[in-house]
Structure 1
Amino acid sequence: MSKQDNIQAQKKFGEAVNSGNLEELRKVVAPNAVDHDPAPGQAYGPEGYIGLFSKMRSAFPDMNIQVDQMVADEDKVAIAYTLTGTHQGDYKGIAGTGQMISIRGVQIGRFENGQLVERWGSSDELGIMKQIGAHVSERG
């Protein structure tokens, strides 16, 4: 597949997450896709992403991921993004607070045949926790 096909697959991934139509992830995530930076308990493949984003959308129903920068080569697409939303449901044991969040993250996805097969990335998890009022320490 071409670089443009991979960019389109990445865009479809984002559209599925933003719309909440998470079943669409089955079309753009390979069954055996590996997330090298998974959330705790996250499964492989589309099921892992469907589970992860179902939890996120439950906590932040208006969650939106905006791609700020995108770079692609023949098999990888890298994005820098901003995730926003309103904390309205349980997130990691913290009941909805009504707080708006805005965090940054980066992701590199490797694609084969128009599907995500590997992902590396990082989101500002500590930023989410601080913005929803969790008492967290920055020390390890």
Structure 2
Amino acid sequence: MEPWEMREWYADYLDACNRHDFDAIRSFVAPGVRRAHLPGGADAWVSDMADLFHAFPDWRWRRIQLVVEDDRLAAHLRGSGTHLGVFRGVAPTRRHANVAQFAMYRVTNGRIAEFSGSADEVELLAQLTGTDR
């Protein structure tokens, strides 16, 4: 894909995520996607998204910056939502959380083949529990 196509592709992917459309999300992810320090595969990817969306039904990402180089994307995002379901063992707090996220993707044949990044889960849990990190 050309850089402008990658940008449009990522905008479509982020839109699918923000709509919580699991079928559409799955269409952007390779079946054998590799994820640094996380279980691989599209099923694990969608399951993690489902856990997040269950705990934060209004969760949305806002793109801050996107860098495209060859078959790779680097994204700086802000993720936010209201904690209304159990997340990582923390009962619903009704607190609004807002965290920075950084992601690196390698895209092959229009699908995410590799992912690494920081979702700063420590910061997210600190916001839910009201503790300092």
Task: State the TM-score, normalized to the length of structure 2.
Answer: 0.91
Distance 1:5 1:34 in 2: 23
The answer to whether the 8 Å contact 1:25/1:46 transfers is no
1:85-113 deviation per Cα after TM superposition (whole angstroms, max 9, x unaligned): 00000011111010000000100100111
The answer to whether the 8 Å contact 1:94/1:134 transfers is no
Summarize the Cα distance change of 1:119–1:104 in structure 2 as closer, same or farther, 3 Å threshold.
same
1:13 Cα deviation from its structure 2 partner: 2.2
1:54 Cα deviation from its structure 2 partner: 0.2
Q: Would you identify which runs of 4 or more consecutive aligned residues in structure 1 move more than 3 Å?
A: none
Gaps of 5+ in 1: none
Is 1:23 the counterpart of 2:27? The answer is no
Aligned to 2:127: 131
Aligned to 2:9: 9
Counting only pairs closer than 5 Å after superposition, residues 1-140 of structure 1 correspond to structure 2 as: 1-38=1-38, 42=39, 44-133=40-129, 138=133
Count the aligned residue pairs: 133
| Alignment root-mean-square deviation, CA | 1.6
Task: State the TM-score, normalized to the length of structure 1.
Answer: 0.87
Gaps of 5+ in 2: none
SS at match of 1:11: helix
1:37 Cα deviation from its structure 2 partner: 3.5
